[in-house]
Amino acid sequence: MKIQTHTINNTNIAEIISEEVIINNIEDGLDLLGNLYYQDFGKIIIHKQNITPDFFDLKNGIAGEILQKFSNYRVSLAIIGDFGAFESKSVKDFIYESNKGKHVNFLSSTAEALQKFAG
């Protein structure tokens, strides 16, 4: 795993670069948040490919637990990828509602995430 640092408006943004799944479960998500939070990153970009597909099965609670912690710590998260393949109405609604807020966004590119973080 590599951390690409972006800085916008004096805020450090960590972009996770990896070919592997980084978040396999709730604990992995909390570890990532904690490690980056204490390295002074206020915003995080992670790619969909780095998150277990189980994250998008909302019934198991992985997404809710992880995203609640990001919200509690006031760390913004952008998840980058193609989300059009999801057929579940609940997942589509979840993504739609998340994108209306400021803390968690599902976006198509790093450039879009940086633009969103810039305000």
**What domains, with CATH codes, occur in the chain?**
2-118 (3.30.750)
- Nearest partner of 51 among 43, 62, 42, 38, judged by Cα: 62
- What is the pTM for the complete model shown? 0.94
Query: Rounded mean pLDDT of the chain?
Result: 95
Inter-residue contact 1 to 16 (CB < 8 Å): yes
Per-residue confidence band for 13, with pLDDT thresholds at 50, 70 and 90: very high
% residues pLDDT > 90 (the chain): 92
Per-residue pLDDT, 53: 95
